[in-house]
Amino acid sequence: MDHSGVPVATTAGTIVETGMSSLVPASNVALIVEGLCKTYDKTIAVKQLSFSLVVGSTTGLLGGNGAGKTTTIGMIMGLIEPTSGSIRVFGHDMAHDRHRVLGRMNFESPYVDMPHRLTVRQNLRVFARLYGTSEVERKIARLAEDLALVEFLDRPSGSLSAGQKTRVALAKALINDPELLLLDEPTASLDPDTADWVRAYLEAHRRDLNCTILLASHNMAEVERLCDRVIMLKQGSLVDNASPAELLARYGRSNLEDVFLDVARGRVKGKNRVDS
């Protein structure tokens, strides 16, 4: 198998090939995506995608517009039904058992909003109750402190700037201390200072809580900084799956942006060549 991340049965129990040149016990795997396909009429959005995420890792989902990143995240969240293939989160099949794990996941996306007329505090209270968070007010106070939201807590969410809204959305995504966090372009439309601040926060959060993060992004510097591994997609297919350092070595480039351009323009030297 080549970076597919599918489970492998052994006498020692199920283990998973993660693409990290080692086999990992299934109990240490947060997410297994296997043979995932999504077609809309005659358009193929995602084609035979397989990968897995080790607990505590941060993985970047890279690809140009229409590469299938948002569709993939949508399928993992259960908002989009795959045409075929399977998704297992902490061992639970998302097609039949998603309500057993939804409380252990969360997500943030600039394409999804929160009620504008509710204050930040009210929004966080509602989501805290939906997720069954204990000690709600203390949790909100801590997140507000961590994400510099204290002065905005009692303002309507719709009155905030893009950067403030992103931090609120991040607070919502962290309200249940998720074990699996899905982020779709978490720093899109943020100024460089706020974006850097968000990245630092995510790094610290992952380190402190051993959270698993899947991050779709167009920002190569962000991916290089945050991710242990990078999954590269093109036209819905997996092109490569490796650590940033391995990708740089494999493509003979000094930064991920050039690797991305090689993949996007078909100048592929990686293991899963798109064309020659």
Partner 1 sequence: MSNPAVLSLRRIGAMVLRYTYLLRSSWPRMLEMIYWPAVQMLTWGFLQTYLVQARGVAPNSAAITAGALIGAVLLWDILLRGQQGFSFSFLEEMWSRNIANLLMSPLRPTEFVVALMVMSLIRLAVGVVPVTLMAIVFFGFNLWALGVAFAAFFVVLIVFAWSVGLLVSGILLRYGLGAENLAWSLMFIIQPLGCIFYPVAALPSWLQPICWVLPPTYVFEGLRSVLIGHVLRADLMLTGLAIDSLLFAGAAFGFARLLASARRAGTLLQTGE
Binding mask 161-200 for partner 1 (x = CB under 8 A): -----------x----------------------------
The helix/strand/coil state of 129 is helix
Which member of 21, 27, 84, 116 binds partner 1 (CB under 8 A)?
Answer: 116
Is residue 229 involved in binding partner 1 (CB under 8 A)?
Answer: no
Per-residue burial over 135-149, b = 16 or more CB atoms within 10 Å of its CB, e = otherwise: ebeebbbebbebbeb
Is residue 130 involved in binding partner 1 (CB under 8 A)?
Answer: yes
Contact range with partner 1 by CB under 8 A, out of 52-60, 127-135, 144-152, 192-200: 127-135
Binding mask 25-44 for partner 1 (x = CB under 8 A): -------------x-x----
DSSP per-residue string spanning 101-113:
TGGGEEEE-TT--
Q: Which is nearer to partner 1, 130 or 204 (CB)?
A: 130
Per-residue burial over 189-225, b = 16 or more CB atoms within 10 Å of its CB, e = otherwise: ebeeebbebbbebbeebbeeeebbbbbbbbbbbbbbb
Which member of 42, 111, 193, 254 binds partner 1 (CB under 8 A)?
Answer: 111
In 73-210, the DSSP E strands lie at 84-89, 92-93, 105-108, 180-184
Element (H, E) at 95: helix 94-97
116 phi and psi, to 5 degrees?
-70, -35
Contact range with partner 1 by CB under 8 A, out of 24-32, 102-110, 213-221, 245-253: 102-110
Shortest Cβ 99–partner 1 spacing (Å)? 4
Shortest Cβ 204–partner 1 spacing (Å)? 24
Which member of 8, 112, 162, 200 binds partner 1 (CB under 8 A)?
Answer: 112
Which member of 32, 57, 88, 107 binds partner 1 (CB under 8 A)?
Answer: 107
**How far is the C-alpha of 169 from the C-alpha of 175, rounded, in Å?**
10
Tokens encoding 180: 């699996």
Which member of 25, 28, 84, 115 binds partner 1 (CB under 8 A)?
Answer: 115
Site for partner 1 in 57-76 (CB under 8 A): 70-71, 74
Strands 212-217 and 180-184: parallel
The helix/strand/coil state of 175 is coil
Is residue 122 involved in binding partner 1 (CB under 8 A)?
Answer: yes
CA distances from 14 to 4, 10, 11, 27, 97 (A): 15, 6, 8, 9, 20
Q: Which is nearer to partner 1, 62 or 76 (CB)?
A: 76
**How far is the C-alpha of 29 from the C-alpha of 89, rounded, in Å?**
8
Give the binding site for partner 1 (CB under 8 A): 38, 40, 45, 70-71, 74, 77-81, 99-100, 102-103, 105, 107, 109, 111-119, 122, 125-127, 129-132, 156, 172
